[in-house]
Amino acid sequence: MRFRNKTVVVTGGGSGIGEAAVRRFAAEGARVVVADIRPEAMERVLAAIGPQRHLGLVVDMEDMAAIERMIAVTLTRFRRLDVLVNNAGMGSFGRVTEIDMDHWRQVQRVDVESVFWASRLAIPHLEKVGGSIVNVASASGMAADYGFAAYNAAKAAVLNLTRAMAIDHAPAIRVNAVSPGLTATPLATGLTGNAEMMAAYEPVLAMGRPADPGEVAAAIVFLASADASYVNGHNLVVDGGMTAHTGQPNFTRLLGENSHLVEAESAVKR
Ligand SMILES: NC(=O)c1ccc[n+]([C@@H]2O[C@H](COP(=O)([O-])OP(=O)(O)OC[C@H]3O[C@@H](n4cnc5c(N)ncnc54)[C@H](O)[C@@H]3O)[C@@H](O)[C@H]2O)c1
């Protein structure tokens, strides 16, 4: 019950990683604000955790006025704000030469600008109670993917914005990020639900599977909790080892299965 009497706002709380975080915060005693652009997703999660104790809001994180309302209504209802989880996000496919300015701007609005604006509005209230922010970035913010240019840029910005806010607003609040790798959520079903795609992932998924959303939520809740009271400006990578890999071939497998390569390696050693 690390969040008894604390108020937590989770953006994109109606699905996937956000939903898993909502459920964990609620189970640990928090009063949770489930903010999502999709009313039916928000209502489903709110019904699961209890609409009397918690609050659901339909919020489009592209809409600055809606974000202002989210913070204002939270304070009116619960009188305090302890944790902001900037989780809402969208994916994007395309190289720079294939996406247009409207798409680029939408990705930056949803994935980065919403983090800036919600944080800007929340920080004065978080400072009153020694609260914290957790931003959901991505392994795709730490290096580049083929064909994910706008998303790579946005998530990298989230990571450095996390660090900037962490040093600017310490010691009054803490600001950290979680960087998931492939996680089995509706956002990623185009990847996790596609056999050819999963076969292509096989060499880089050291754990042999995507993350469960609850495994990412556990890291979010840890960073928001008093257990992380001296953790600030950190990027907690929850990718099963994906970014621990240089990208080089699997030598164990290759050298074990191909005797000519083993011989070549022995020749080098000799
Ligand atoms: N699933 C992955 O493999 C993965 C990997 C790395 C990072 N992430 C990040 O995790 C976060 C959560 O993604 P997820 O995989 O749980 O996806 P998801 O689609 O399951 O959930 C995202 C939720 O955000 C909501 N949302 C989308 N746009 C919104 C907007 N403009 N305003 C308010 N709500 C909005 C959606 O309605 C949805 O309920 C995102 O920031 C995503 O970039 C996901």
pLDDT per residue of the chain (270 residues) written in tens, 0 to 9: 999 999 999 999 999 999 999 999 999 999 999 999 999 999 999 999 999 999 999 999 999 999 999 999 999 999 999 999 999 999 999 999 999 999 999 999 999 999 999 999 999 999 999 999 999 999 999 999 999 999 999 999 999 999 999 999 999 999 999 999 999 999 999 889 999 999 999 989 999 999 999 999 999 999 999 999 999 999 999 999 999 999 999 999 899 866 565 565 566 666
Q: Is 56 in the pocket of ligand 1 (CB under 6 A)?
A: no
Q: Pick from 9, 10, 11, 17 the residue to mutate for probing ligand 1's pocket: most ligand atoms within 8 Å of its CB.
A: 17
Kindly report whether the global pTM for this prediction surpasses the value 0.75.
yes
Ligand 1 in contact with 16 (CB < 6 A)?
Answer: yes
**Domain-wise residue ranges, the chain:** 7-269
Q: What is the 3-state secondary structure (H, E, C) of 155-204?
A: HHHHHHHHHHHHHHHCCCCEEEEEEECCECCHHHHHHHCCHHHHHHHCCC
Question: Would the CB of 159 count as within 6 Å of ligand 1?
Answer: no
Query: Does 7-269 carry CATH code 3.40.50.720?
Result: yes
Q: Is 141 near ligand 1, meaning CB less than 6 Å away?
A: no
151 is catalytic: yes
Q: Dihedrals φ, ψ of 123, to 5°?
A: -55, -45
pLDDT of residue 196: 92
Taking the centre of ligand 1 as the mean of its atom positions, its distance from the CA of residue 189, in whole angstroms, is 12
